[in-house]
Amino acid sequence: MRRAAVLAVIGAVAGALIGAGIAACWTEGRKSAPEAIGPVPTAEQIAWQEDEVWAFVHFGPNTFTDSEWGYGDADPAVFNPTALDCRQWVRTFKAAGIKGVILTAKHHDGFCLWPSAYTDYSVAASPFRDGGGDVVGELARACKEHGLKFGVYLSPWDRHQASYGTSDYVRYYQNQLRELLTNYGTISEVWLDGANGGDGWYGGARETRTIDRRTYYHFPAIHAIIHELQPGALIFSDGGPGCRWVGNERGAASETNWSFLRDGVVYPGYPFERELGPGHEDGDVWIPAECDVSIRKGWFYHPGEDGAVKTPEQLAELYYRSVGRNGKLLINFPVDREGLVHPIDSANAVEAHRIVSGQLGNDLLSGARVRASETRGLRYRASRVSDARPATFWAPKDSTREASLVFTLKKKKTLDRVLLQENIALGQRVKSFTIEYSDGSDWHPVPTQEQMTTIGYKRIVRFDPVEATALRISITDARACPCISSVQAFLADAGL
């Protein structure tokens, strides 16, 4: 009995001490949490970036007339997909690791893929499902069934409508937006294209119309409608406000890529495209870069491009140039005349996903010992970068702008890429960094031409293979103390 009582007391004391220790660590962590440095992303912007890859679908009369920019006078009778199956699109996207899809509900030609109450220039006037079809509705349903997010592209420029250029057209546009945002469930992204080419059919006028890109569409009112009807939707345009165009249609972000813009500077059709790649380092609003690119040359389907689909290797390269540079990849699938993702496009996208997953599948730093030049407490210790939990991170003291992490490998390993992530909920901080490896006796920079400037959500640096016993990541400048949530290293070939 006495022995049991003594053990119980020891147990209670030990429990209290452990409890107090945990509480002390917790308090220490709480006290020393780094403050966010603005601008910071919304929860929706973080989720948008974590999705990494979305699909774009360009589909409409252009698909059947072999054109890219329909003039607005194509007969609705040309729109006649014979085997349309949005579930096939969605299954393909899922197999390719894609998390959402944006459909051209209306492209510049003005033809609507849903039976809009505001025009007869739509699927309702076509032979598709005897005029009873609704491509927007079919895709929205397929996405819901398969757990994919859904977004709409509604071209502000409309080469069909006679009213284009007047305030009647702006009301028409807003009404259509309301239809799309009310009748099709959750919309996660609205794509506001910046193209305004000028000439068009315009109800038979066949003329060139120019509008003031800054003021004509009343974008603040359009944004307000989107926020009202779909508060979780991100608004894409050249200048956001949800996410920005990356400034090219090659699917490539800049190596230096700040997720900020100066408020109110960039509008749809903004002429200084080169600013959009790096963003504005001194920006005051969080507007991350979206990298759009087509799997083929054109955005719409052209039978002549069946032999020129980007290869799996080219598509994998796009992942590194977009997601690997703090961007989001939006890859376009020109759905074909049957109404299906073409088998070549589908096979190449799925294979590209397999390649990237293999190359980034085996973190060679897992199990390595990691030491930081400095930390701000237990909660922010160096090993946080290896715990596979995005919410935890390593951070030094508030005043620190230069700090390093050294990973000591259990045995010599060949590496050719390093993946870094910041905890972006607290803002994007790192301005420059270096990656060095030790061959067992000396430190050397990894052999690469890549700039090591910003990190952001994700940065993947590729280099010629090196044999390393240790790896050193040094943050050499930052806007505030760095908060690094992940460091991983890989050998690409090992995963294939």
Phi then psi for residue 388, to 5 deg, are 60, 20
Per CB under 6 A, 111 contacts ligand FUL? no
Query: Rounded to the nearest whole angstrom, what is the least distance from the CB of residue 160 to ligand FUL in the complex?
Result: 15
Using CB under 6 A, which of 138, 179, 292, 345 touches ligand FUL? 292
Query: Rounded to the nearest whole angstrom, what is the least distance from the CB of residue 62 to ligand FUL in the complex?
Result: 9
Residue 331 buriedness (CB in 10 A; 0-12 / 13-18 / 19+): buried
Taking the C-alpha atoms of 371, 391, 253 and 282 in order, what is their torsion angle to the nearest 10 degrees? -90
Any long-range contacts for 209-215 (C-beta under 8 Å, 24+ apart)?
A: 209/164, 209/165, 211/165, 213/267, 213/268, 213/269, 214/267
Per CB under 6 A, 193 contacts ligand FUL? yes
Phi then psi for residue 418, to 5 deg, are -125, 135
Q: Closest CB to ligand FUL among 249 and 284?
A: 249
Query: Rounded to the nearest whole angstrom, what is the least distance from the CB of residue 316 to ligand FUL in the complex?
Result: 22
In terms of phi and psi (left: phi > 0; alpha: psi -120 to 50; beta: otherwise), the region of 270 is beta
- The site that binds ligand FUL (CB under 6 A) totals a number of residues, namely 6
Per CB under 6 A, 299 contacts ligand FUL? yes
Which residues make Cβ contacts (< 8 Å) with residue 11, sequence separation at least 6? none
Per CB under 6 A, 117 contacts ligand FUL? no
Strands 285-286 and 149-154, by their bridges, are unpaired
Q: Closest CB to ligand FUL among 289 and 473?
A: 289
Q: Closest CB to ligand FUL among 159 and 431?
A: 159
Question: Considering only 72-80, 193-201, 420-428, 430-438, which stretch makes contact with ligand FUL by CB under 6 A?
Answer: 193-201
Q: Is 89 helix (H, G, I), strand (E, B) or coil?
A: helix
Q: Closest CB to ligand FUL among 194 and 200?
A: 194
Cβ distance 409 to 59 under 8 Å? no
Q: Closest CB to ligand FUL among 251 and 456?
A: 251
Please state, in angstroms and rounded to a whole number, the distance separating the CA atoms of residues 473 and 461. Answer: 12
Per CB under 6 A, 189 contacts ligand FUL? no
Per CB under 6 A, 195 contacts ligand FUL? yes
Which residues make Cβ contacts (< 8 Å) with residue 257, sequence separation at least 6? 277, 278, 279, 289, 325, 326, 327, 454, 456
Query: Rounded to the nearest whole angstrom, what is the least distance from the CB of residue 296 to ligand FUL in the complex?
Result: 12
Question: Considering only 139-147, 192-200, 219-227, 376-384, which stretch makes contact with ligand FUL by CB under 6 A?
Answer: 192-200
Query: Rounded to the nearest whole angstrom, what is the least distance from the CB of residue 152 to ligand FUL in the complex?
Result: 13
Chain positions contacting ligand FUL, by CB under 6 A:
68, 193-195, 292, 299
